[in-house]
């Protein structure tokens, strides 16, 4: 007898429940798959508990037993022995019941977190380990990324004729995170050779049933469902699921009505939940017909509201454009900051850029100051967004807030690690890279969140990206620039450059790029300031000649500041001959310096753009 034969003979099979939930409740909070080697009896007892509760199928404790995930624990060289032990334990626990080898998704909700080539390599290794131990089938579960699941399913189908269960996980009822309808996704998996297709994890019975209402019975495959017990709570530093097993008993018949032939549990479920399913469905035949609910998706995404200002990426193509960075203050008194913003506005700048807790030090919220600058001074804010301080939830909330405040210019940056700032014990989040943040912002411009949910309205963000021309190989910097363009960057803002020769090299290396570049110019204030920037600030290097010039006045602060302005003006002259965009960086809120530079630029290069247009 085989698993598929049982399904063909009109049986409803009961799967097991969560492994990790029980191990977590017993106090295990390390690598659950390693316990196949060190706590064999504990894993055996959990298998037996599910079998005694009525499970017909148990999964090996191998959800994350692949190279990519075991590497987090330094166990990447133990893939074979961990998978082998897992099958041995499950086989010992099972009598006449089926043992399927489980392989979990790797990408999760971040599609670009790992390449498909690495996924293939890792998957093949684990798949071969499980097949060598003669499992009764393969269960692919918790795949948020449909591309990943299709990729590994094709590999598995070519390598074995054993039954394959392929299950997706959803962020939203009825849809994959790339907006593929669940019915289409399961149909694609069936066509790729999956014997059982279904849904597991994240959703509890209520929302999983809503999802299955839209899914017709497959033509050749069978439907499965492995719901979570409930949404987890977090109490006293531990996650806890409150799902009631009696509730699962009530839901069992509803899953049967939706055509489910393999029913088990995922996160939060215990033998009690599986017993509830088993007691209700063990002797019942599955339905062979169902009415599919055609949920009318009334998708209404309003067009993006027209921004108050012409996007910088367009404006800089038509005229010489100057933007100035003025850091939000470290203290609550914003009077000097506002004085500086007003003075820069009067100097004719096109935007005020506001860093996001630069150098990982807490400052007044840049989006709050940006909103004030825009409303009180009618000065366009360009708000930096770092990947360091916010997780995926916070980033999306932040973007929604910026849109609500009418702030449409943003700069996507990685952000200095927390360890360099005032609170080195703070955590750096980095849920996404700057590349992925750019892509996320562009997805908002389509009216969709990261998970594919409609936002009800398109945003109209113009996305700037960071560019560092100071690295040894300018070609490497340009490669990153081109990659950011592929992710959706509209224009670039560079780190400050302190060499005319580097400005020329940067121009030559980027003149084929069709996206504007705002080149960074920063006035130095002292020799000590110059040495600090050169030696201690990531991404900034000064030429020896600049450091020597500043060093001549290390004992004369006033003359040193004047020398710094002379250097900046000379750099500015060269930069404005080569680039339409100029990015002035204000040191220590000494806005008088950038005001003078902005005025100098306007006064000394008034007809440069016209000459350039004529030459073109």
Binding site listing for Zn(2+): 201, 266-267
Sign of the Cα torsion 273, 278, 280, 286 reads positive
Phi, psi dihedrals of residue 101, rounded to the nearest 5°? -85, 120
Binding site: what residues are annotated?
201, 266-267
Q: Which residues pair with 552 in a beta bridge?
A: none
Neighbours of 524 (CB within 10 A): 27
Say if strands 581-585 and 517-521 run parallel, antiparallel, or are unpaired.
parallel
Burial level of 292, CB count in 10 A (0-12/13-18/19+)? Answer: middle
SS3 for 504?
helix
Distance, C-alpha 56 to centroid of its chain: 38
In 347-473, alpha helices (H)? 366-377, 392-404, 434-444
Are residues 507 and 579 in contact, defined by beta-carbon separation less than 8 angstroms?
Answer: yes
Q: Look up tokens 């900051």; give the residue.
A: 337
Rg (CA), the chain: 30
Longest Cα–Cα distance of the chain, Å, equals 93
Neighbours of 72 (CB within 10 A): 10
* Secondary structure element (H or E) that encloses residue 339, with its range: helix 335-346
How far apart (Å, rounded) are the C-alpha atoms in residues 258 and 217?
8
Q: Look up tokens 């702030």; give the residue.
A: 407
Phi, psi dihedrals of residue 570, rounded to the nearest 5°? -65, -45
In 181-334, alpha helices (H)? 182-191, 205-212, 245-257, 271-281, 312-318
Distance, C-alpha 223 to centroid of its chain: 31
Say if strands 462-467 and 260-263 run parallel, antiparallel, or are unpaired.
unpaired
């Amino acid at each position: 007898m085989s698993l598929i034969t049982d399904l063909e003979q009109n049986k409803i099979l009961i799967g097991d429940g969560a492994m990790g939930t029980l191990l977590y409740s017993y106090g295990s909070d390390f690598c659950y798959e390693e316990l196949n080697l060190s706590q064999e009896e504990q894993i055996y007892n959990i298998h037996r508990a599910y079998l005694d509760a009525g499970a017909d199928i148990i999964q090996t404790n191998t959800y994350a037993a692949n190279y990519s995930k075991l590497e987090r624990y330094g166990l990447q060289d133990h893939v074979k022995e961990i998978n082998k032990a897992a099958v041995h334990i499950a086989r010992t626990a099972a009598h006449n019941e089926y043992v399927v080898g489980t392989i979990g998704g790797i990408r999760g909700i971040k599609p670009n977190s790992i390449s498909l080539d690495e996924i293939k390599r890792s998957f093949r290794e684990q798949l071969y380990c499980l097949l060598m131990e003669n499992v009764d089938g393969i269960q692919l579960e918790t795949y948020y990324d449909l591309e990943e699941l299709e990729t590994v399913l094709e590999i598995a189908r070519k390598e074995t004729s054993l039954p394959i269960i392929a299950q997706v996980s959803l962020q939203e009822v009825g849809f994959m995170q790339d907006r593929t309808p669940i019915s289409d996704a399961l149909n694609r998996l069936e066509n790729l050779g999956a014997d059982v297709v279904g849904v597991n994890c994240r959703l509890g019975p209520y929302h999983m049933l809503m999802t299955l209402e839209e899914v017709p019975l497959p033509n050749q495959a069978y439907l499965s469902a492995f719901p979570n017990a409930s949404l987890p709570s977090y109490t006293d530093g531990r996650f806890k699921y409150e799902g009631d097993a009696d509730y699962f008993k009530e839901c069992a018949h509803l899953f049967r009505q939706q055509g489910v032939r393999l029913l088990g549990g995922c996160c939060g479920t215990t033998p009690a939940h599986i017993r509830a399913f088993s007691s209700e469905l063990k002797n019942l035949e599955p339905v062979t017909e169902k009415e599919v609910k055609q949920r009318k998706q009334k998708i209404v995404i309003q067009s993006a509201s027209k921004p108050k200002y012409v996007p910088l990426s367009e404006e800089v193509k038509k005229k010489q454009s100057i933007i100035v960075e003025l850091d939000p203050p470290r203290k609550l008194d914003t009077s000097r900051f506002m004085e500086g913003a007003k003075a820069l506005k009067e100097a004719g700048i096109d935007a005020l850029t506001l860093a996001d807790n630069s150098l990982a030090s807490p400052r007044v919220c840049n989006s709050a100051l940006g909103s004030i600058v825009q409303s009180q001074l009618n000065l366009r804010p360009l708000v930096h967004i770092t990947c360091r301080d916010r997780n995926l939830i916070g980033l999306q909330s932040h973007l929604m807030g910026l849109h609500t405040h009418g702030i449409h210019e943003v700069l996507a940056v990685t952000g200095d690690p927390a360890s360099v700032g005032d609170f080195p014990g703070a955590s750096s989040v980095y849920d996404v890279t700057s590349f992925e943040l750019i892509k996320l912002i562009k997805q908002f411009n389509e009216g969709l969140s990261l998970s594919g949910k409609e936002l009800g309205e398109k945003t109209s963000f113009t996305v700037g990206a960071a560019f560092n021309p100071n690295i040894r190989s300018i070609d490497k910097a340009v490669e990153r620039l081109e990659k950011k363009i592929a992710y959706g960057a509209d224009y670039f803002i560079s780190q400050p450059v302190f060499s005319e020769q580097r400005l020329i090299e940067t121009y030559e290396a980027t003149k084929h790029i069709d996206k504007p570049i705002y080149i960074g110019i920063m006035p130095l204030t002292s020799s000590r300031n110059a040495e600090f920037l050169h030696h201690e600030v990531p991404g900034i290097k000064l030429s020896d000649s600049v450091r020597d010039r500043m060093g001549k006045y290390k004992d004369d602060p006033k003359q040193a500041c004047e020398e710094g302005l002379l250097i900046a003006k000379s750099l500015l002259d060269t930069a404005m001959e080569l680039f339409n965009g100029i990015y002035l960086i204000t040191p220590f809120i000494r806005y008088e310096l950038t005001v003078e530079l902005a005025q100098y630029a306007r006064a000394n290069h008034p007809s440069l753009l016209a000459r350039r247009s004529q030459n073109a």
